[in-house]
Structure 1
Amino acid sequence: MGNIVNEWYETKKNVDEMVHWEKPKLKKWELAVTKFFPAEAKILDVGCGLGREAFVLSDMGYKVKGIDISQEVIDQVVPFSVQKGYDIPFSVYDGHKLPFEADSFDVVIIWAQTFGLLYGNEYKHEFLLECKRVLTNGGLLSYSAHDYRFLMENYKNVMKGRKFYPYADTELYWETFEPDELMAFAKDAGYTLILCEKGEIYIPEDGTILHCLCRK
């Protein structure tokens, strides 16, 4: 990931603002996707942040490992996880190479905003191949991204072309997508597409995101 992303997530003030603990829950679309996951699956949570998805998936009986590009994020989530009684390994990675052997995971998730921070098509293509490497044969990849049409209809003032700028006075942005574009990444990397759809977050007012589920 580029320097813009690294600098944002290494800034303690920005990470501090991510902290909230109300018993975490999965978004509606995330919960729907987990119905495809094998029982007790080994899951790699890419861009784990402060652990919302990892904690809930662990509660559901999955074996989760979380990785993030930000040392500041990992420095906060590790003691937070211990404090809450979880035994989830969290570690830093370089944003490109996954520090695991081939065939290590049954599921890889790239949820929340992470996919839109993999700037450029070549980067995303190479990263999906890297995810494929660490997946077991028949393993699942689930990834999500911002819905270009929804943002243009509701947040046009913070859109510049296909880039979504949610924070004032910063260069950080998320790439946005149409469904066919999101599907193309999976197909180009040699995955078998299971579904690609708009998913509800929590309530209708939150809008929708796009997400794909595919198989190695």
Structure 2
Amino acid sequence: MDDLLYWIGLAAVAVNALTGVLDAGRKRMDLVGVVMVGMATALGGGTVRDILLQRPVFWLSDQSYLLAALLTTVLIFFAVRNLKLPPRLFLIPDAVGLALFTIVGTRIALDWHAPWLAASLLGMITGVVGGVLRDVLCNEVPLIFVRGELYASAAWVGALALIGLQALNVSPVAATWAGMALVLAIRLAAMAYKITLPTYSARE
């Protein structure tokens, strides 16, 4: 299980770095700006999680994550910088990164003996904070705050599903894959069918 989480974590870092590059590219940033956005997107959520859990920050204790973020950012920058890409293209890898990071964050929180509700919220935080940093650095309203398709709620449902499956004695590997699939399915369905949460609408 530890090996699986390690590789999922690396994949999450790489995918989130990719979304940072694509979003920064829309703002016509230079290489330094793109690297800053990509690294913040890839490493931000896990950093906040580790600080809250008072555990060693993952990319400081294992430089592989840092290298994965940096290499992905630079390679994608040079691969796509002269291409005209659809403006919403980054939303697909963003959904994948959301699923990967949410489940990794939840499992790490559980391994550090966080209570189930706190673990689910830490999983959600791991999934969404990188995207928040990306959007802020790109001078955009973060997706989590936009009146749009399900985002943070998709992550939270997936995290709770993972915890529930483990409580039912489903194998950790199966629960992990099921949780990731659920986050991704909810997010993609929300994007496709414009599924949103109710909003506050006060009468004047």
Structure 1 length-normalised TM: 0.33
Which structure's relative contact order is higher, taking Cα pairs within 8 Å and 6+ residues apart? 2
**Bigger strand share:** 1
**Bigger helix share:** 2
